[in-house]
Amino acid sequence: MFQSIKNTFIDLFDQEPLLVYSPGRINLIGEHTDYNGGFVLPAAIDKKMVVAIAENGTNKGRIYSVDFEDEFSFDLESFSPKKGHWATYVMGVVSQLQQAGYDVKGFDMVFGGDIPVGAGLSSSAALECAVGYALSELLGFGISKKSLVHYAQKAEHTFAGVQCGIMDQFASVMGKKDHAIRLDCRTLDFDYFPIDLGKYKILLIDTQVKHSLADSAYNKRRLECEEGVNAARKIQADVQDLRDVSLDLLDQLNLNEIVYRRCRFVVEENQRVLDSCEFLSKGDLDGFGKKVYQSHDGLSKLYEVSCEELDFLVDFTRKVPEVLGSRMMGGGFGGCTINIVHEDYIAQLQKGVSEAYEEKFNKLPKFFVVSPEDGTGLL
């Protein structure tokens, strides 16, 4: 893939490029905790976005997408978001760097990757991080990794119009091989925890669905969580987020049943992240796997962001001893499940899941085995 992107660049622009990569990410546990000031446990993975770049001596950004087989050009002194177009992610990063005072010179760029689009592995965040890092390296900006994370996140907010949390970009840039990152989404303090899975692998199963509920439900969940926080502040004034609410305090609040369930999930999920880190530190994969299943049960029953397809995939694994844990990953209503599976059983599990899933939903899921890798860097 790297060589192919480099060759495409040379064919198009007739010069040698700088090559940069930024990975997609998984989240082992800690869903919907990010916007509640809590903890998440993501890891960068061995699926990457690759950017080839060189200066072109003009005032234009000239970009070619290998995956879309499409080119795009824009004037660095006058450009704006192009809704729904892949170039928006590139322009968003350029805009953030310019606003931060960096003198972005004209460049030629080719990019492509092997991160499955639409599976919830953050291909857009990986592209933003790769573009920011590539421009910084090419033009000698020396941008720190943490600043790069913020620029990439702001690009998503202002140009792509998606009010994402910080986790995707953070994991993409700060990933470390064979480790997960426990990230405090309030302070951005973080610690690495080893992922020594031994004979087990991380298998993602993509439902191949995305239900239209996702965006409106996400906004609704945020409001329901805020309702819980506002009620908690009346009893405990220093509460900033649900992260500060204990189950004891939650039980004292006069909340309606739905808001109570939403808040209970977040409070319990936060604790599951902390517990999972302890299990991983001790190499207790069985203990970690149980937390993963508990996370899915909470997402499905308390937070209600699962769907029939995700529940089906998780329930299929519960009777399989070679699977230690399984849960939906991401915002919900489609996308992937993440599964901790014994390496000798992966082929058999894929066969069994495919047959059962096709019979039930008349479509086949997709499978990806992934491993934790280093974050954004030079090739």
SS3 state of residue 233 = helix
* 125 annotated as a binding-site residue: no
* 65 annotated as a binding-site residue: yes
* 18 annotated as a binding-site residue: no
* 224 annotated as a binding-site residue: no
* 24 annotated as a binding-site residue: no
Cα–Cα distance between 91 and 128 in angstroms, integer? 9
* Catalytic annotation present for 168: yes
* Burial tier of 198 (Cβ tally within 10 Å: 0-12, 13-18, 19+): exposed
Cα–Cα distance between 129 and 117 in angstroms, integer? 16
**Active-site hit among 108, 168, 206, 241:** 168
* 268 annotated as a binding-site residue: no
β-strand partners of 314: none
Encode 165-195 in three state secondary structure.
Answer: CCHHHHHHHHCCCCEEEEEECCCCCEEEEEC
* 172 annotated as a binding-site residue: no
* 120 annotated as a binding-site residue: yes
Tokens of 4: 């192919």
- CB of 120 closer than 8 Å to CB of 167: no
User: Token match 């903890």: residue?
Assistant: 39
CA distance to 64, 102, 106, 329, per residue, from 56 (Å): 14, 17, 6, 41
DSSP character at residue 111: E
* Burial tier of 208 (Cβ tally within 10 Å: 0-12, 13-18, 19+): middle
- CB of 353 closer than 8 Å to CB of 337: no
CA distance to 31, 98, 113, 249, per residue, from 260 (Å): 17, 44, 42, 11
* 123 annotated as a binding-site residue: yes
Overall residue count recorded for the chain in this entry? 379
β-strand partners of 266: none
* Cα Rg of the chain (Å, integer): 21
For the chain, the distance separating the N- and C-terminal CA atoms, rounded to the nearest angstrom, is 12
* 118 annotated as a binding-site residue: yes
Residues annotated catalytic, as ranges: 168
Residue numbers in the known binding site for ATP are 65, 118-124
Annotated binding site for substrate: 31-34, 218
**Residues annotated within a binding site for Mg(2+):** 124, 156
Binding residue ranges: 31-34, 65, 118-124, 156, 218
